[in-house]
Amino acid sequence: MEYTPAPLDTSRVAIGSELAQLTELLSRNAHDVWARQRLADGWRWGPERNDARKEHPGLVPYDRLSESEKELDRQTAMETLRAILSLGFRIVPPESRAR
């Protein structure tokens, strides 16, 4: 099977400072969702990934991840926000909605 990924072109979508803050919240949440599912599937923390024993070193709180691991979550969150905006949706911060 041949597969050629074709994500949305979000190269022209700018993310302002308010959404940059949202990126970090989404990154933390993405990690927690991933970890919760792994734990529910019987995985546990281990010093290195071992699929046979269901051990993974990333099963720690977000703050204990390495910066490179956090950056993977941030990139996913940022690209998701860019995709939402490129599709024409708007993201309105909570304080702006009250006006």
CATH number at residue 25: 1.10.490.160
CB neighbours of 21 closer than 8 A, spacing ≥ 6? none
For residue range 34-81, list pLDDT tens digits in order: 999 999 999 999 999 999 999 999 999 999 999 999 999 999 999 999
Q: Please tell me the distance from the alpha carbon of residue 21 to that of residue 96, in angstroms, as a whole number.
A: 15
DSSP-derived secondary structure letter, 67: H
Q: Please tell me the distance from the alpha carbon of residue 6 to that of residue 11, in angstroms, as a whole number.
A: 13
Residue 3 lies inside a defined structural domain of this protein: no
DSSP-derived secondary structure letter, 44: E
Q: What is the pTM of this model?
A: 0.84
Give residue 79's domain range. 17-90
Q: Please tell me the distance from the alpha carbon of residue 39 to that of residue 52, in angstroms, as a whole number.
A: 15
Residue 1 lies inside a defined structural domain of this protein: no
Contact status, residue 30 vs residue 76, Cβ threshold 8 Å: yes
- Number of domain units in the chain: 1
Residue 34 lies inside a defined structural domain of this protein: yes
